Amino acid sequence: MSIYAQRASTRVTPQMKQARSDQVANSAGGFVFQLDKWKCLERFLILGAEGGTYYVKEGDSIDKNVKCLDACVQEDAARTVKTIVAISEEGRAPKQAPAIFALAKISGSADPTARKFALGAIERVCRTGSFLFDYVRDIEQFRGWGRGLRTAIANWYLNKDARELAYQIVKYQQREGESHVDTLRRAHPQTQNEDLQDVLRYAVGKLEVPATWLDTGKPHQQVLAAVEAAKRATTETEVVRLITAHGLVRECIPTQWLNSPAVWEALLEKMPMHAMVRNLAKMTSIGLIAPMSEASKKVCAAFGNTDAIRKSRLHPMAILIAHGIYKSGHGQKGKLSWTPVPQLVDALDSAFYLGFANIVPTGKNWLLGIDVSGSMGYDSSAAGGALSCAEVAAAMAMVTMRSEQNWYCHGFCNTFVDLGLTAKMTLDAVLSNTRQRNFGSTDCALPMVYALQKRIPVDTFVVYTDNETWAGHIQPFQALQQYRQQMNRPKAKLIVCGITATNFTIADPTDPGMLDVVGFDATAPAVMADFSRE
């Protein structure tokens, strides 16, 4: 091959050079493909932009995703809101903040139709008082309290039955300066329902709760009376009785009782899965969760209940972070410390995999490439969490490794990196192995190049990456084309699992054998299996 052909080749193009006119430069200077705006929206809603990325500051990352959100609204506001609602309700995202922000942004749109769609979805996305407060703080950055917003917020309160509303009022009393008093003062909900009137008056401090309601009141009255009785309680026994009889949650219990194992034991009986994850450390530190204790057995059983985990919308990412923190024996903030119970560490390990949608094995040959380059390190933490993008990518790869029999997994940066992963490894071992090998520049073509060099028969390649590739002598889509031709496997596919909320991908949008999915999406492994099977 002449130096002229080598320079102008359309089959082998260095990643720092544009191979096709539809390519764009990524943040590292390499050339990739522009992600469709709807895919960008999904990435943002699932991954968020908190912390930014290795190459992009947090503010710039947020700005880019806001522009994408605006473009989606301009094209199809109804579809945009439906996407927000679906991702929120299906529990596909580790955090609700991006969805709540996006809904608030659209609620302040200049387009009245877009505003109507967004305001109509508040109750579906802001399912708790805490989420409502987040929404209220965000919405005030985009609009005033006009009639439409007042009506929508009032409906959040008035469309609940009295007991459910009482529960929301007493559990989520305030968040970062926002309270029900503030929200109700702006929304002015009006109702002829006397039961709802009770709760609303209580929320703004204008209801004296009779002690007799504790035993003879209606369901919502008993909840309110139980909370007031807990404030007056002078013994541990009284508090335990109130929790057991009326289902009080931790937020309703005065601080002086929150170091009592008996109180926590009562709370644990009906504790929701999210609360259980948040309070593992506390319950262990006070001795309730201990080796062979009944509480330990109960929690382990809960984390082994697939239906309970999925119904709770507890995201696998939340479990993964909880696993790392709990095993460490100390919190990220504060002075709380504890001795981890080994069985509970194992239960969290198993629960991580149970949080994903059902995956039917494909029987295909999978090659999983995990980007462990420098840009996937701690300067680009996963969804603002305690883990690097590379560590979470490895954990995601483990889901496929455990569901499929025929796989090969390796890490890559600008060279091949043997991570030594097996399907039977614990999450802790997986994260540790990945952490020790997180370095270097990025060449996302390496999985295909390596498979061709080693003559590995692959049906589906999966590349877990931030798409900041730039170091290779051949572009990833070209490497797949070469692999298909030289291995006589024309149907070999490539799935790109995007780990950060950037607006580009190495997947060729014109190639039906390539797919872009969002990392940390609880449905991603099942979608990947379906695509591989097609």
Query: What is the spatial distance between Cα 237 and Cα 233, in angstroms, rounded to a whole number?
Result: 9
Q: Could you say which DSSP state residue 404 is in?
A: -
Phi, psi (deg, nearest 5) at residue 323:
-60, -45
Cβ atoms 392, 499 nearer than 8 A:
yes
All structural domains of the chain with their residue ranges: 26-35+359-533, 95-203, 290-314+316-354
β-sheet bridge partners, residue 493:
460
Quick one: which of 61, 78, 69, 67 has its CA closest to 45?
69
Candidates 3.30.360.10, 3.40.50.410, 3.40.50.10490, 1.10.3720.10; correct CATH number of 26-35+359-533?
3.40.50.410
User: Which residue is listed with tokens 């590739």?
Assistant: 469
For the chain, the first-to-last Cα distance in angstroms comes to: 38
DSSP secondary structure letters along 375-387: GGSGGGBGGGSSS
Distance CA 221, CA 359 (A): 45
Length of the chain: 534
What is the full per-residue pLDDT of the chain (534 aa) written as tens digits? 554 344 455 679 999 999 999 999 999 999 999 999 999 999 999 998 876 665 567 788 888 999 999 999 999 999 999 999 999 999 999 999 999 999 999 999 999 999 999 999 999 999 999 999 999 999 999 999 999 999 999 999 999 999 999 999 999 998 878 999 999 999 999 999 999 999 999 999 999 999 999 999 999 999 999 999 999 999 999 999 999 999 999 999 999 999 999 999 999 999 999 999 999 999 999 999 999 999 999 999 999 999 999 889 899 989 998 998 899 898 877 789 999 999 999 999 999 999 998 899 999 999 999 999 989 986 666 655 678 889 989 999 999 999 999 999 999 999 999 999 999 999 989 988 998 888 889 999 999 999 999 999 999 999 999 999 999 999 999 999 999 999 999 999 999 999 988 899 999 999 999 999 998 899 999 999 999 998
For the CA atoms of 324, 84, 376, 334, what is the dihedral angle to 10 degrees?
A: -40
Beta bridge partners of 408: 367
Distance (Å, whole) CA 198 – CA 481: 68
Query: What are the start-end ranges of the E strands in 389-475?
Result: 407-412, 416-417, 460-465
400 neighbors 364 (Cβ within 8 angstroms)? no
Contact call for residues 411 and 418 (beta carbons, < 8 A): yes
Q: Are 199 and 224 in contact (CB under 8 A)?
A: yes
Q: Which residues contact 205 (CB under 8 A, 6 or more apart)?
A: 181
**Which pLDDT score, from 0 to 100, does residue 358 have?**
84
Which backbone phi and psi does 414 adopt, to 5 degrees?
A: -100, 0
Residue 388 DSSP class:
B
Helix, strand or coil, per DSSP, at residue 337:
strand
What ranges make up the beta strands (E) of 27-118?
A: 31-34
> What's the whole-model pTM score?
0.91
pLDDT of residue 175: 85
CA 504, 317, 89: angle at the middle one, nearest 5? 80
Rounded distance, CA 388 to CA 496, Å?
Answer: 18
Give per-residue burial for 58-86: e unless 16+ CB within 10 Å, then b: eeebbebbeebbeebbeeebeebbebbbe
pLDDT at residue number 55 = 59
Reduce the DSSP state of residue 517 to 3 states and report it: strand
Report the sign of the C-alpha dihedral through residues 62, 67, 68, 69, in that order: positive
**Cα–Cα distance for residue pair 242/224, rounded to 1 Å:** 11
What are the structure tokens assigned to 161, written together?
A: 């039955």
Alpha carbon separation from 509 to 33, 39, 152, 283, 504 (Å, rounded): 8, 11, 40, 49, 11
